C-alpha cells in the first residue's frame, strides 16, 4: 500500500508562482494557484514524509503537518531550496518560477510622468519600459552542481529530482528539452492549453517523460490524483538509490 511508503523521507516541494517586484506595490507574476504543489505536499505528508513546502504567494491555507516556507521571488525560492537540499531525499519543483525579474526595484511607487519631468523608465511619448534580467534556473543549477567533479560535490547527490513543464504547444518536444537540460529523474509535462488543466484548475492533464525516452500519458484527473501518481513513481527511485 501507499500509506507510509515515504516514512522517514525528507521531501521538498515547490508550489505557486514567484512574484518579482517592480516597485513597492507592483510585481510581475503568473497564474499559478499553488493547487498542484499543495496536493503534492499533502500526498507526501499522508504517506509519512517530512514535507518542506516552499511556496510562492498563493491563496491556499497552510496544509496541516507540513513545514511551510513562504517566499516571494525566484531568488528567495532558490535560497530556500538550497537551505534544505542537503538533507532532502526528493525535490519536486511544481512552482512556476519567473524566468525574468526587473533589473532594479523602485523604492517608491512609480508615478505617471508629470509634464516636463521624465520619470524612470518613461519616454517623452509616455511609453514606459522595465528592464528585465534573467533569474537563475534553480533546477538547472542543481544539475550543474551534481555533475561537478567529486571534490566539488555537495551532499545532495542522492536527491531524486522531478520537474514540471507548463506548455501551450509542442508539449512533448519542449518538455523533452527541459528534461535533458535539467537532468531530471522525470518531468511532468502539463498541458495548459485546455480549460480543465494547468493553472488554477481542480483537474490536470499530464504526461510523464523519463530520461530513457519513455512517455506515460495519464488521463485527466484531480490534482490530488496526479500527485499520488507522481509519488507512486518517486518511491521506486528511492529504493533503487538505497541499494546502490
Ligand atoms: O499552481 P496551479 O494553479 O495548480 O498550476 C500548476 C502548474 C501549471 C503551475 C504546474 O503544474 C506546472 O506546470 N509548473 C511548472 C510551470 C512552468 O512553466 O515551468 P517552466 O517550464 O518555466 O520550468 C520548468 C521546470 O524548471 C519547473 O519544474 C520549474 O519549477 C523549474 N524552474 C523554472 C524556472 C527557473 N528559473 N528555475 C526552475 O527551477
Instruction: Give the model confidence (pLDDT) of 56-104 as tens digits.
Output: 999 999 999 999 999 999 999 999 999 999 999 999 999 999 999 999 9
Q: Give distance in angstroms: CA of 163 to centre of ligand 1.
A: 7
Question: With a 6 A CB cut-off, is 165 part of the ligand 1 pocket?
Answer: yes
| pLDDT at residue 244, as a whole number | 44
For residues 41 and 53, give the distance between their C-alpha atoms in angstroms, rounded to a whole number: 6
- The model's pLDDT over 122-135, given as tens digits with 9 standing for 90+, comes to 777 778 899 999 99
Q: Per the structure block, which three cell numbers stand in for 102?
A: 526587473
Q: Give distance in angstroms: CA of 244 to centre of ligand 1.
A: 30
φ, ψ of residue 25 in degrees (nearest 5) = -120, -5
Q: Per the structure block, which three cell numbers stand in for 21?
A: 517586484
Question: CB count, 10 Å around CB of 127?
Answer: 9
pLDDT by residue for the chain (244 residues), tens only, comes to 478 999 999 999 999 999 999 999 999 999 999 999 999 999 999 999 999 999 999 999 999 999 999 999 999 999 999 999 999 999 999 999 999 999 999 999 988 876 555 556 777 777 889 999 999 999 999 999 887 777 655 554 589 999 999 999 999 999 999 999 999 999 999 999 999 999 999 999 999 999 999 999 999 999 999 999 999 999 999 965 555 4
| pLDDT at residue 208, as a whole number | 98
For residues 211 and 96, give the distance between their C-alpha atoms in angstroms, rounded to a whole number: 22
Question: With a 6 A CB cut-off, is 187 part of the ligand 1 pocket?
Answer: no
CA torsion sign for 54, 57, 63, 67 is positive
Check whether 164 is labelled as a binding-site residue.
yes
- Nearest-CA residue for ligand 1 atom 36 is 137
| pLDDT at residue 201, as a whole number | 97
Identify which of 19, 98, 164 to mutate to test ligand 1's pocket (most ligand atoms within 8 A of the CB): 164
Check whether 182 is labelled as a binding-site residue.
yes
For residues 93 and 164, give the distance between their C-alpha atoms in angstroms, rounded to a whole number: 6
- With contact defined as beta carbons under 8 Å apart, do 33 and 16 qualify? yes
Beta pairing partners, 190: 166, 206
- Nearest alpha-carbon partner for 138 in 190, 186, 83: 83
Residues 6+ apart with CB under 8 A from 55: 14, 15, 16, 34, 37, 38, 68, 69, 70, 71, 95
Q: Give distance in angstroms: CA of 132 to centre of ligand 1.
A: 19
Classify domain 10-99+129-243 by CATH number: 3.40.50.10300
Question: With a 6 A CB cut-off, is 36 part of the ligand 1 pocket?
Answer: yes
Check whether 99 is labelled as a binding-site residue.
yes
Q: Give distance in angstroms: CA of 170 to centre of ligand 1.
A: 16
Q: Give the DSSP H or E segment for 101.
A: strand 100-102
Q: Cα–Cα distances in Å, from 201 out to 18, 36, 205, 223, 230?
A: 18, 9, 10, 8, 18
Question: With a 6 A CB cut-off, is 13 part of the ligand 1 pocket?
Answer: no
Question: With a 6 A CB cut-off, is 35 part of the ligand 1 pocket?
Answer: yes
Establish whether 30 is a catalytic residue.
Answer: yes
- Ligand 1 atom nearest the C-alpha of 187 is 28
- Ligand 1 atom nearest the C-alpha of 182 is 26
Amino acid at each position: 500500500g501507499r500509506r507510509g511508503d515515504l516514512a522517514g523521507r525528507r521531501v521538498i516541494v515547490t508550489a505557486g508562482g514567484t512574484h518579482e517586484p517592480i516597485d513597492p506595490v507592483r510585481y510581475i507574476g503568473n497564474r499559478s494557484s499553488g493547487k498542484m504543489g499543495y496536493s503534492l505536499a499533502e500526498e507526501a505528508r499522508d504517506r509519512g514524509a517530512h514535507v518542506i513546502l516552499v511556496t510562492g504567494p498563493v491563496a491556499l491555507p497552510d496544509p496541516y503537518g507540513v513545514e511551510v516556507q513562504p517566499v516571494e521571488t525566484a531568488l528567495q525560492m532558490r535560497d530556500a531550496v538550497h537551505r534544505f537540499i542537503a538533507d532532502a531525499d526528493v525535490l519536486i519543483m511544481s512552482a512556476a518560477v519567473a524566468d525574468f525579474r526587473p533589473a532594479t526595484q523602485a523604492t517608491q511607487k512609480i508615478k505617471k510622468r508629470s509634464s516636463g519631468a521624465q520619470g524612470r523608465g518613461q519616454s517623452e511619448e509616455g511609453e514606459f519600459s522595465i528592464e528585465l534580467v534573467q533569474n537563475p534556473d534553480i533546477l538547472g543549477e542543481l544539475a550543474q552542481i551534481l555533475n561537478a567533479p567529486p571534490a566539488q560535490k555537495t551532499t545532495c547527490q542522492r536527491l531524486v529530482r522531478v520537474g514540471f513543464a507548463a506548455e501551450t504547444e509542442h508539449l512533448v518536444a519542449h518538455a523533452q528539452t527541459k528534461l535533458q537540460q535539467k537532468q531530471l529523474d522525470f518531468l511532468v509535462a502539463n498541458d495548459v492549453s485546455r480549460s480543465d488543466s494547468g493553472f488554477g484548475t481542480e483537474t490536470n492533464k499530464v504526461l510523464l517523460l523519463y530520461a530513457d525516452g519513455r512517455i506515460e500519458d495519464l488521463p485527466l484527473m484531480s490534482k490530488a490524483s496526479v500527485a499520488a501518481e507522481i509519488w507512486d513513481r518517486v518511491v521506486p527511485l528511492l529504493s533503487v538509490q538505497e541499494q546502490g
